A and B are shown apart, each in its own frame.
Chain A
Amino acid sequence: MPLSKEQVKHVARLARLKLSLKETEEYTRELTTILNYIDQLKSVNTEEVPAWNQSATMENVFREDEIRLSLPREKVLGNAANRDDEYFHVPRVIGR
């Protein structure tokens, strides 16, 4: 099933990506090719097969809810694009 340019724009919006006109065209073409290949999954009979995505025999892992040392604040904030003293600084999110 070919993907439309509108669908690609919608997905880009969901993923918080801005695409140029050229990128939109290229991704429409490439994603269509990839999804056409992926469509072969439809021919597999998976009735009665449960979904599985755990690569290990998993049990719940618990730990005591104790206060532990966290990472050094200066090291973590050192990677901030913009900081304000002890905080990450972001554009205003509350209406003026």
Chain B
Amino acid sequence: MDSYVPPYDATAVTRLIDAGAVIIGKTNMDEFAMGSSNETSYYGPVKNPFDHTLTPGGSSGGSAAAVAQKIVPIALGSETGGSVRQPAAFCGLFGLKPSYGSVSRYGLVAHASSTDQISPLASNVRDLALVYKTACGRDPNDSTSVAFDHPDYPGLLETNGKLRIGIQKECFAEGLDSEIDKVVRDAIKALEHDGHTCVDISLPSTEYAIACYYIITPAEASANLARFDGVRYGLRVGSDESLDDMYSKTRSVGFGREVKRRIMLGTYALSSGYYDAYYLKASKVRELIRREYEDAFSKVDLIVSPTTPTAAFRLGEKIDDPLAMYLSDIYTIPASLTGCPAISVPFSRMSDGRPVGVQFTASYFDELSLFQIAHILEHWI
């Protein structure tokens, strides 16, 4: 894709330009948005602006680093399972994963079509709300985009309303850094002090979210990435041989290690004899997770959790252990699977200075509550 020049703009980008935004450039990211550390990028990893030995997170690490470094006030990234919330947490920013269907995917390179969403990053809630309000809305070019009467988010950040917030107890268990545990609990205390009610809730099936995600999304990706075949997207290798050889050679040279790994995982999960055991099973578990969220939102307005189990890790720390890398998205994946909106709020820092994100998840299309709760916490930061 190095030489690829898109023949059209994404709807989200067009809407921002029409509103007066100036596009500065495209940012570095993990290849085909597959990665949690930016280390799978074709161009080499982005470094975390706070400490160049740390990853900025991924896959939209370049977008996060550009905002954190104050190169730009706002940036767009793309979310499939946490690719904006996790970099936001690692770089000390606000990052929103909108409700599935709220921002048009027209012009977004497809990774996993049932979870992909274009997602904004900003250093304050007002900017974040402004970008989202500008980019969202129904688009005839994306039939999964939803016609929803979006409120004036930036104008509605101040509220006296009191919210019921569920504390997702599964997140406060083994694997969570104790300092992050404390930061999230401090945020909960601040909200209680502000008059909001926080109660423990349980979403037991989220335990299976990563296993579910790593069947569903590679399966979708294996189909979506079939189009990169040496015909329409620049690179071609071995053009003198048969069509099949040309496909295979081009794809083998063009795709990086992580992308090939996921294409194979997805192809396997969809292949004859394994479809029921993997893809169908994962689709059912996904429904179980969705039901638990639906049930939770009949009792609470928002769910609070950490965004990530650890703060930004070192470049090189997890790149040779794909499963460890995948597990770093443990708290962000459920909202992606269910389609719920979620926000990462840079509430505090570790004792060594690394930023920490607190995540809130809302029911479908309740981005307003996310902006309002983030704005309340913004006063405490």
Which A residues lie at the B interface, using CB under 8 A?
A: 3, 7-8, 11-12, 14-19, 23, 27, 30-31, 33-35, 37-42, 44, 46, 49-58, 61, 63, 71-72, 75-76, 78-82, 88, 90-93
Tell me which residues across on chain A come within 8 A of B267, comparing CB atoms. 11, 14-15
Chain B 209-227 near chain A by CB (<8 Å), digits 1 or 0:
0111011100000100010
Would you list the 6 A-B pairs with minimal beta carbon distance, nearest first?
Answer: A55-B339, A81-B236, A55-B100, A51-B283, A52-B287, A75-B7
* Distance of A17 Cα from B226 Cα, bound (Å): 11
A27 touches B260 (CB 8 A): yes
**CB neighbours of B50 from chain A (8 A):** none
Instruction: Assess A8 versus B285: contact at CB under 8 Å? Given A16-B229, A18-B252, A38-B214.
Output: no
Measuring CB to CB, which residues of chain B are less than 8 angstroms from any residue of chain A? Answer: 3-5, 7-8, 99-101, 114-115, 140, 143-144, 146, 205, 208, 210-212, 214-216, 222, 226, 229-236, 239-252, 255, 260-261, 263-265, 267-268, 271, 277-278, 280-288, 290, 322-323, 326, 338-339, 364
State how many angstroms separate the Cβ of A92 from the closest Cβ of chain B.
8
* A15, A42, A90 pick with most chain B CB within 10 angstroms: A15
- With A and B bound together, what is the CA distance between A37 and B265 in angstroms? 13
A7 to B339, CA, bound (A): 33
Q: How far is the CA of A12 from the CA of B252 in the complex (A)?
A: 10
**Which of B115, B264, B290 is within 8 Å of A52, CB to CB?**
B290
Partner of A40, one of B143, B211, B226: B211
Alpha-carbon separation in the docked complex, A19 to B260 (Å) = 10
Chain A residues in 8 Å Cβ range of B242: 91-92
Closest Cβ of chain A to B213, distance in Å, is 10
A24 and B326 alpha carbons, distance in the complex (Å):
21
Q: 11 additional contacts, CB 8 Å, given A15-B263, A52-B284, A92-B242?
A: A16-B244, A27-B260, A27-B264, A37-B211, A44-B288, A49-B288, A55-B338, A56-B101, A79-B233, A90-B246, A91-B241
